[in-house]
Amino acid sequence: MSAVDQILQKYQAAYQKSVSHPLTNELCAGTLSDRRLFTYLVQDLKFFQVGMNLFGKALAYCDDAKSAIVLAKQIGFVANDENDYFTISLKELRESGNLEDTDMLADSPATLPAVQKYIDLMKYLAFESTSYVELITFVYVMEQVYLGWAEYNIERGIAENLTYKHQEWINLHSGEAFEKWTQFLKDEVNRSVKTEEDLTLCDGIFIEAIEREIEFFDACYDY
């Protein structure tokens, strides 16, 4: 059994919780309120810059030329397609008339404590970690959770005729291209784990990332 499969099996309960959260379930059903979606997107956007730094750090520490090309191409995708989704959806939500009572509309909205905790972890990885195992495992977990909630809901049957603000977020985290990208990351983690020390690092960052994802979903849903 590969390193990733071992760890997925070990933390199956936590992983399942992360991919079946009410926030993403309701998003895929088209029933997530504009207020909750807006809060989620405003907070998620706070990860964007440090996330790009983290991708760049993983690229810098990658020791395989072919893998480095894949990572570089994905950085370009994130900078374009995902950024466009935020711009379009946040504008639409601001103009919906459903958000008057939320301070998330402020020019500089507060960062929720759970989100700051997650950002602090990402900053550690982006600016302090020197371990490719840690870096690539974290990127894998981030992407696997998002593929996971999309697949979980597609299997259950997502709502038909969803609006852009719901459907496009699902599209960005499902389908052949995203599955291929996530499989690449899984393979990279397995390739990089060569020793027991590597496995310990992989295990530690895996469960920490899962826990931060769950706390992030909880904080945005309950705000």
Whole-number Cα distances in Å, 9 to 17, 21, 136, 183: 14, 19, 19, 17
> Is the distance from CB of 217 to CB of 21 less than 8 angstroms?
yes
Q: Helix, strand or coil for residue 160?
A: coil
What number of other Cβ atoms are within 10 A of residue 66's Cβ? 7
> Is the distance from CB of 37 to CB of 27 less than 8 angstroms?
yes
Distance CA 24, CA 79 (A): 23
Q: Is the pLDDT of residue 181 over 70?
A: yes
Write out the E strands in 38-114: none
The DSSP annotation for 172-183 comes to HT-HHHHHHHHH
Q: Is the pLDDT of residue 79 over 80?
A: no
Highest mean pLDDT of the ranges 14-18, 45-49, 107-111, 156-160 = 14-18
What integer pLDDT is reported at residue 55 of this predicted model?
92
What integer pLDDT is reported at residue 81 of this predicted model?
63
The mean per-residue pLDDT over the stretch 181-198 comes to: 97
Reported as a pLDDT band with limits 50, 70 and 90, residue 73 is confident
Average pLDDT of the residues of the chain:
94
pLDDT tens, residue by residue, 131-160: 999 999 999 999 999 999 999 999 999 999
Q: Is the pLDDT of residue 82 over 70?
A: no
For 3-222, which CATH superfamily applies? Heme oxygenase-like (1.20.910.10)
Domain edges within the chain: 3-222
What integer pLDDT is reported at residue 76 of this predicted model?
79
